[in-house]
Structure 1
Amino acid sequence: MDLHSHDAKPGAADGYLVGPRQAWFAFAMTIGLMMVDYIDRQVIVSLFPHLKEAWGLSDKQLGALVSAVSVTVALGAIPIALFADRFSRVKSIVAMATIWSLASISCMFTRNYGQLLAARAAVGLGEAGYGAVGAALIASHFPARMRGALMAAFFASASVGSVLGVMLGGVIAAKWGWQAAFGVVGVPGLVLALLYTRVRDYRTVALTPSIEQATRSTQGTARAIVKRLARSRTLLWVCIGAPAQLILVSAIWAWMPSFLNRMHGMAPEQAGVKAALVVLCGALGSVVWGAVADRAGRKNPAAKLHVTAAVCVASAAVLAFAFGAGHLGLDLGKQAQFALFALGGFLMTCTVGVVAAVVIDVIHPGIRATGASVLSLFQNLLGLAVGPLIAGALSDLWTLENALMVMPVFGLLAAWAFMVASRSYGADLQSAGDSADEDIHAAPAGAPRSVPA
């Protein structure tokens, strides 16, 4: 469903690919699928108490059910984004949504831990590359001046999906059993996949022979990625800071329902609803901090990363205090402690939109989805996959409260990495623009050019 040359209207709609109406339709559909993506990912966390009771699983095993999705997402992200960049973003997204929805439905038929772990890995395989491809599609439909806020909203929809997943899992399990939760949340993805065929794709961007050759295979792309990381200090440090913060985020999201169930004595369904409020605060925070960072970076691009680093530090301080106040001899009370959880949730998602916009800013326009998949690889494999597993392992050794108390140290690591990245962001931003101009002029005569984005 790629656009032909006569479909695109460069410059005719203030930088929109084919006009505001089609752009906002693509945005709405892409956000809808992002929400379903994370509903299917996160529905399991509110089912932890049921699974622990039914199969006698350890916290490390429970954490692995969350991490398995992120591992397969990470491993499949680059090949799928590479295919999407050179073939079709829309068709790739339709195929991905169909696969992950069917895999989610299959979880309801599992009869032991091994089967469920394999089914969860299949969910991740279907979701691999979606965030990168969806971000590239949105970025190309809209003017560049709107990109930071739009990326924040797109990735904030993941938080909203997580809210719904955590909430629905507990409620459905209480009424119809934990197996039914997987089936109920898997159906909407199939419906949206069918509707997504009406989204307009952007034209595949012409590349110079050297870039074309480098991105024809996963192996070639891997070499290109290493080369890009060596050339762009911003991309390198963002790919360190982003997953570090997500270790904290994923640990809190995965284990908050269980924490409230064990430490506050809530029933699983009540704990799921309450934990969903923390995730909802994260959804709001990602949009707010994305907009704040955009505003801060208007005159000085590096300020965008300075703001993000500062909020990472604040989130670490708030959450460490919330979980560790008892070790200081302070009795916060359940309501005050939960208020701090909500504040920490609002702060800790500050990186979501910013890092995606920064990476797209410093990458060649012709390989935006592939470039964004580099970030996705790091975020999933070193961030989302690691957080629940580390927290679960530490919980088995200590207690869940103590495990979550030490997780904020990763927020401090993220802040440091973003401060280092800010030193090279301006230069890399300029370099990416110059590189794109040179490649367009160097493209073969008659080759299609990139549409404005």
Structure 2
Amino acid sequence: MAAATASPYRAMTYAYFVLATLTLLNLLNYIDRYIFSALVPYIKTDTGYTDAQLGLVGSAFTWVYTLCSPLFGYFGDRVHRGRLIAVGICLWSLATAGAGFARSLFQLLVARAAVGVGEANYATIAPSLLSDYFPKSRRGVIMSVFQATIPIGAAAGFVLGGYLGDPEAFGWRNALLIVGLPGLLAAAAMALIREPQRGAMDEPAEVAVALESIGWLEGYRRLLVNRGYLLTCAGYAAVTFALGALVFWAPEWMKADKGLSEKEANLALGVCAVVGGTLGSLIGGFLGDALNRRMRGAQGYFLVCAASGGIACVPMFIALVSASPRVYLACTFITLFLVYLGNGPVNTLVVNLVAPNLRTTATGFLVVSIHVFGDGISLALVGWISTYLRKLASAGQPPPALVSFIAELCRLSPTTQTLSIALLLMPAALVVAGLAYGLGGLTPEAGGRES
């Protein structure tokens, strides 16, 4: 009897070890990703690059990350996932450190693009690996724990960037070297992770499907007729459009438009992200699992995601237009809490709405969707709008009539608060996200039926 009970106990203990390992790696992943945003003000001062140029560097990371995701999605459904992830960790860690040696805009762009390759590997494969260690009924919480490191990592990136990047401390180049190299130590542990049977924690019928070998085109055909999955991609793309631009530009926005120093801006954003984002991520997973036990199929997860995006547009708008530090900081906190509320549920939707042998492919396609239609556009767009308005102001020319109308309506200056005006696109994107998730909850797949 002892032997019979020991095996499940050891299996669950090992599953939590895998969760802890992947969660720690996700923390390093997001520190390396977001420290660059915190370093933007220092890089601008040191190099003279414009908002538009640095927005292009940010978009280079995003586009390469996006384009590589389907490739890793394909291999992630077919080869040992732990070893593949280990290769990605080595690449993104070396590339993060290497960006500190860049002596031109092109070199900086190439280094950040290489970070995108390594992180695409990890982000695409890790959720699939977790889904094969935990049952459907607990995946909301598990994915939320995993995703909770996003705001913590982002906050750590902002705080570390704000302090390490200061020329009186280490400078932005050394800051990238300091945060980049520790990931190499974690790669070895990841290479030793055991590969579970695909679909091991799903229903027997789904396990049989997991053993089925399907071609690349057939896999995408199945995804493209899955309406619940497609609307999940659409909703997440709209959220990423808003959140990606807000987080990337927030340090410069708080400095240039709100009057905070680099350290104050990074510290404020770090606190908002780590507390609001972490609480949102964890509560969202528990809430999604609880609602899903009372609703059909995946409808509980869709409901949490719809509320997350639909409600967050209000505090985000207030944060952009308010001149009061108490108001805009409180609303930034509330925005991040609400947006991250959907993080665990949306990743649970992706793995639960598709067959086990398509999960990394589905995650890869999701990554393409959210960045092609999300922050792959919004990062550069915000930088371009801000730079354009500042050039008009420098030349003594008035802004376009529509911009003048919006600025007057929101009580923003089109000459000194250009980032605030550009970021007004983001609350509208969150409304779109809420609608997409709401429609997703009405699909046959959300109700547990085949499309």
Scaled by the length of structure 1, the TM-score of the pair is 0.84
Distance 1:38 1:133 in 2: 16
Q: Counterpart of 2:8? A: 13
Determine if the alignment matches structure 1 residue 282 to structure 2 residue 268: no
Structure 1 window deviating more from structure 2 (308-317 vs 105-114): it is 308-317
Q: Counterpart of 1:347? A: 338
Determine if the alignment matches structure 1 residue 367 to structure 2 residue 364: no
Q: 2:256 aligns with which of 258, 262, 265?
A: 262
Q: Counterpart of 2:299? A: 302
Q: Which amino acid aligns with 1:113?
A: L
Determine if the alignment matches structure 1 residue 27 to structure 2 residue 15: no
Q: Counterpart of 1:329? A: none
Compute the displacement of 1:12 (Å).
Answer: 5.8
Determine if the alignment matches structure 1 residue 126 to structure 2 residue 123: no
Question: CA, structure 1 residues 210+135, in 2 after alignment: closer, same or farther (shift >3 Å)?
Answer: closer
Compute the displacement of 1:122 (Å).
Answer: 0.5
Compute the displacement of 1:85 (Å).
Answer: 1.9
Compute the displacement of 1:49 (Å).
Answer: 1.0
SS at match of 1:129: helix
Paired residue total: 408
| Deviations 1:300-328, CA, capped at 9 Å, x for gaps | 13243123212312110111122124xxx
Distance 1:361 1:177 in 2: 45
SS at match of 1:407: helix
Question: Where do 5+ consecutive residues of structure 2 fail to align?
Answer: 200-206, 390-417
Question: CA, structure 1 residues 368+111, in 2 after alignment: closer, same or farther (shift >3 Å)?
Answer: same
Distance 2:342 2:444 in 1: 15
Alignment of 1:364-403 (within 5 A): 364-398=355-389, 399-403=418-422
SS at match of 2:132: helix
Compute the displacement of 1:278 (Å).
Answer: 2.2
Determine if the alignment matches structure 1 residue 358 to structure 2 residue 349: yes
Determine if the alignment matches structure 1 residue 114 to structure 2 residue 106: yes
Task: Detail structure 1 runs of 4+ shifted over 4 Å in the superposition.
Answer: 9-12, 204-211, 425-428
Question: CA, structure 1 residues 230+414, in 2 after alignment: closer, same or farther (shift >3 Å)?
Answer: same
Work out whether residues 234 and 436 of structure 2, in 8 Å CA contact, stay in contact via their aligned partners in 1.
yes
Question: CA, structure 1 residues 277+425, in 2 after alignment: closer, same or farther (shift >3 Å)?
Answer: farther
Alignment of 1:153-302 (within 5 A): 153-174=145-166, 175-203=169-197, 212-215=213-216, 220=217, 224-225=219-220, 227-280=221-274, 281-300=276-295, 301-302=298-299
Compute the displacement of 1:47 (Å).
Answer: 1.1
Work out whether residues 362 and 428 of structure 1, in 8 Å CA contact, stay in contact via their aligned partners in 2.
no
Compute the displacement of 1:366 (Å).
Answer: 1.9
SS at match of 1:299: coil
Q: Which amino acid aligns with 1:397?
A: Y
Compute the displacement of 1:427 (Å).
Answer: 5.5
Q: Counterpart of 1:451? A: none
Distance 2:106 2:381 in 1: 20
Structure 1 window deviating more from structure 2 (151-160 vs 241-250): it is 151-160
Compute the displacement of 1:386 (Å).
Answer: 2.5
Question: CA, structure 1 residues 233+12, in 2 after alignment: closer, same or farther (shift >3 Å)?
Answer: farther
Alignment of 1:22-101 (within 5 A): 22-101=14-93
Distance 2:74 2:445 in 1: 27
Compute the displacement of 1:90 (Å).
Answer: 0.6
Q: 2:423 aligns with which of 396, 404, 408?
A: 404
Question: CA, structure 1 residues 356+11, in 2 after alignment: closer, same or farther (shift >3 Å)?
Answer: farther
Q: Which amino acid aligns with 2:336?
A: G
SS at match of 2:424: helix
Q: Which amino acid aligns with 2:65?
A: V
Question: CA, structure 1 residues 208+417, in 2 after alignment: closer, same or farther (shift >3 Å)?
Answer: closer
Distance 2:431 2:153 in 1: 27
SS at match of 1:57: coil
Work out whether residues 210 and 355 of structure 2, in 8 Å CA contact, stay in contact via their aligned partners in 1.
no
Question: CA, structure 1 residues 245+11, in 2 after alignment: closer, same or farther (shift >3 Å)?
Answer: farther
Question: Where do 5+ consecutive residues of structure 1 fail to align?
Answer: 1-8, 326-331, 433-453
Question: CA, structure 1 residues 229+21, in 2 after alignment: closer, same or farther (shift >3 Å)?
Answer: closer
Q: Counterpart of 1:136? A: 128
Question: CA, structure 1 residues 296+336, in 2 after alignment: closer, same or farther (shift >3 Å)?
Answer: same
Work out whether residues 297 and 303 of structure 1, in 8 Å CA contact, stay in contact via their aligned partners in 2.
yes
